[in-house]
Amino acid sequence: MFPVKCAEQKKLDSRIKRILLGLCYPGMCALLLLPAVLIPSAHAAPSGGEIVGGAGRISQSGANTTINQSTQNMAIDWQSYNVNANERVQYIQPNSSSISLNRILSQSGSTIAGRIDANGQVILVNPNGVFFTPTAIVNVGGIIASGLNIQPDDFMNGRYIFDEVLGTEGTVINSGMINASLGGNVALIGKQVENDGLIMANLGSVTLAAGKQAVLTFDQGGLLGVRVSQEILQEELGVDPAVINSGEVQAEGGRVLLSASTSRDVFSLAVNTGDLEQVTNIIS
């Protein structure tokens, strides 16, 4: 029989697992000295992109990846999606409410260390984890980064239902800078969510939400709300709490939602709010 692990050991194990998934956990940069196989190559960039809903064009030149979207909604399946510090991904979309779904099918997490720019809405989905490093710069109309999966058919038909993939970490971590345009929205959704970077969404909304399922509501102006459900057990994550904000959130004139669907009394604190600046409404 294996010995029962204490809470601190479970937290450490969870952090180690993230490293093995290709995610450098904030505050553990010394682990970048791990073998090179765990470190993104000099040229990462999103690869193997296939448009599976809507219409558009994907082109790459050197360190730049450009996605030209010609329909209001477009869905892309990627074999991998990493952005190194010297790389840029740009979405050129019909208007500010256009949405591009990007599902990453890789068996490892996605590391965003460079730039992502978009005039509309971008959804990044990787059940194996999404990590925005301290060098990441994201300037978009709005963004959803999710460790839960969504089916392209649901997305194309306006059903924004995100579900867990069994056996995956589903973790989303931001250590970089994410900026939504005025009135835009930023949402980090997964089994565990952490922000220790900077998130800005003035006159818009910032959502950090943890659960096994999330249902999102949109209108012409963008994201309206997020409802998370299906409880997470501490034994599944080995972490405590499920939503952590130790960074800076700026949503002047807007609102911030911190939400976790966890079993009662399992997490000592399901949501750790940290520092929230210039926020009109805080919901947790």
Q: Is residue 192 part of a domain?
A: yes
Give the model's confidence band at 232: pLDDT under 50 very low, under 70 low, under 90 confident, else very high.
Answer: very low
Q: Is residue 278 part of a domain?
A: no
For range 106-127, the mean pLDDT: 97
Tokens standing for residue 247: 């960074």
> How many degrees, rounded to 5, is the angle at CA 192 between CA 87 and CA 114?
5
Give the model's confidence band at 178: pLDDT under 50 very low, under 70 low, under 90 confident, else very high.
Answer: very high
Q: Is residue 124 part of a domain?
A: yes
Domains held by the chain: number: 1
Q: Is residue 10 part of a domain?
A: no
Between residues 213 and 104, which one has the greater pLDDT?
104
CA distances from 33 to 25, 39, 131, 174 (A): 13, 9, 18, 21
Q: Is residue 14 part of a domain?
A: no
Q: Assess whether pLDDT exceeds 90 at residue 175.
A: yes
Q: Assess whether pLDDT exceeds 50 at residue 24.
A: no
Maximum mean pLDDT: which of 21-25, 40-44, 73-77, 159-163? 73-77
pLDDT value at position 30? 37
Tokens standing for residue 218: 């949109």
For range 176-196, the mean pLDDT: 94
Instruction: Name the pTM for this structure.
Output: 0.79
pLDDT value at position 4? 36
Q: Which domain holds residue 128?
A: 47-260
Between residues 276 and 176, which one has the greater pLDDT?
176
pLDDT value at position 141? 96
Q: Is residue 21 part of a domain?
A: no
67 contacts 56 by C-beta, under 8 angstroms: yes
Percent over 90 (pLDDT), the chain: 54
Q: Is residue 29 part of a domain?
A: no
pLDDT value at position 9? 39
pLDDT tens, position by position, 258-270: 776 543 333 333 3
- Integer Cα distance of 111 and 167 in angstroms: 20
Would strands 160-163 and 213-219 be described as parallel, antiparallel, or unpaired?
Answer: antiparallel
Nearest to 178 by CA among 139, 150, 133: 139
pLDDT value at position 216? 81
pLDDT value at position 66? 99
- Integer Cα distance of 120 and 56 in angstroms: 14
CA dihedral 229, 233, 237, 239 (to 10 degrees): 110
Q: Assess whether pLDDT exceeds 70 at residue 105.
A: yes
Q: Assess whether pLDDT exceeds 50 at residue 25.
A: no
Provide the CATH number for the domain around residue 86. 2.160.20.10
Q: Is 253 buried (19+), middle (13-18) or exposed (0-12) by CB count in 10 A?
A: middle
